[in-house]
Copies of this chain bind each other. A is one copy, B any other.
Amino acid sequence: MITDIRENAAIASLAASFSRSPRQLNGLQESDAELIRLNSGTILALTTDAIAEEIASGLYADPWLAGWMAVMVNFSDLAAVGAEPLGILIAETLPADISEGTTIALQKGIRDACIACESHVLGGDTNAGRMLHITGTAVGIITSGRPLTRVGIRPDDLIFSTGPLGEGNAFAAATLAAVKGLTAQYRPIARLRHGLAIRPRAGACMDTSDGVLATLDQLARLNNVGFLLVPDWASRLAPSATAAAVQMGIPPWVFLAGPHGEFELIFSASQEQAPAVRESLRPLSGECVLIARATATPGIAIPGLGLLAPEDLAAIRNLEMPSKNTTLPYIRAILDIGQAAQNRTTK
């Protein structure tokens, strides 16, 4: 069930008392951005996302990165529904003792991200507070055709990613666990052009903001399917993830399981549509890599590991978000869940 995941249950509970707008096209959880029909036939895509935990945990210790991410996480949600960005609103809560250098770097991160996405800051709000806290709200439009949602996957559909996987978790391992000699670049770019290109023909789509397995598991629960990763899934990992796995001596699938995303789009296409969808991405930078096939069996089967059942995936997704001191125990908890699944599979 979708509410076996604690975050899903929290959202459902918070939203339970709210009435839904008759203009709203998507159900709760069913798309990365809210889809609102205007009288003109245009569909607005709206999404809001705060950067607070990542700053508090030290993951985004660099204020430039905090600004960049406040923009990118929101534009990535627009990408996943195939909307064109109109811009973003930024509400900043700034501590009284923030340095000028920090503020400048933060604003530069916001600006650079907008330039990278060919979009604009439309407005904002500033507040004083104890902790730095940035909330972005992105607005996009779809002037014709249907939006992409998380719904529309059938068994045997093919599952693609717009780029290599595991970079977010490799960055978190390098930054939070401070593994000796491990560094990782992290500067995800919302896949806006990819979302627009695949929208006419793709099935479902979701960004990997919470990591690959969380994305696949969410799609599995919403579409009542499971996934079988391709045999050479490890070759789809980003070089930083592969390097981190080797350096840390842990199996590479952990970099799919962690909660820090690479902000790629994961999308489905039927076997018939797949060649045309891949063709539509050819002019764009990045890649379009086959990562899995949808199955009628629930869970996510990882060649070389075994089948992670929905309960295993819920257990992974319901772990406390790791901070500096808890990253290694967090990784160990994931490994234990994987080991138990492997033992079950090979029994």
Which A residues lie at the B interface, using CB under 8 A?
A: 7, 10-11, 14-15, 17-21, 23-24, 33-34, 36, 38-42, 44, 46-50, 52-53, 56, 86-87, 89-93, 103, 107-108, 110-111, 114-115, 119-131, 133, 135, 137, 139, 141, 143, 321
Task: Assess the B123–A34 pair: CB atoms within 8 A.
Answer: yes
Task: Assess the A108–B17 pair: CB atoms within 8 A.
Answer: yes
CB-CB under 8 A for A18 and B114, given A48-B123, A120-B24: yes
Q: Which 3 A-B pairs have the closest CB atoms?
A: A40-B40, A21-B120, A34-B123
Partner of A129, one of B18, B36, B42, B53: B53
Residues of B within 8 A of A135 (CB): 48, 50, 91, 125, 135, 137
Residues of B within 8 A of A115 (CB): 19
* Most central of A47, A52, A122, A126 by chain B CB within 10 Å: A122
Task: Assess the A10–B126 pair: CB atoms within 8 A.
Answer: yes
A216 to chain B, nearest CB (A): 21
Partner of A48, one of B17, B125, B130, B131: B125
Find the B residue at minimum CB distance from A121: B18
A245 to chain B, nearest CB (A): 28
CB-CB under 8 A for A120 and B42, given A50-B127, A128-B53: no
Assembly stoichiometry (copies): 2
Task: Assess the A19–B114 pair: CB atoms within 8 A.
Answer: yes
What is the bound-complex CA distance between A16 and B120, given in angstroms? 13
Give 8 A-B contacts (CB < 8 Å), ordered by A residue.
A15-B124, A19-B120, A23-B87, A44-B86, A48-B135, A49-B91, A50-B91, A50-B133
What is the bound-complex CA distance between A226 and B17, given in angstroms? 46
Residues of B within 8 A of A86 (CB): 21, 23, 36, 44
Residues of B within 8 A of A44 (CB): 44, 86, 139
A56 to chain B, nearest CB (A): 6
Task: Assess the A24–B126 pair: CB atoms within 8 A.
Answer: no
Find the B residue at minimum CB distance from A126: B10
Residues of B within 8 A of A128 (CB): 52-53, 321
Residues of B within 8 A of A127 (CB): 50, 52-53
Partner of A89, one of B48, B121, B122: B48
Find the B residue at minimum CB distance from A49: B125
A328 to chain B, nearest CB (A): 20
Residues of B within 8 A of A321 (CB): 128
A32 to chain B, nearest CB (A): 10
Find the B residue at minimum CB distance from A119: B21
Further contacts, 9 of them, CB under 8 A, given A14-B107, A21-B87: A15-B124, A18-B120, A23-B87, A24-B87, A38-B40, A38-B141, A52-B129, A133-B133, A137-B137
Residues of B within 8 A of A39 (CB): 42, 143
A218 to chain B, nearest CB (A): 15
What is the bound-complex CA distance between A90 and B15, given in angstroms? 10
What is the bound-complex CA distance between A41 and B114, given in angstroms? 25
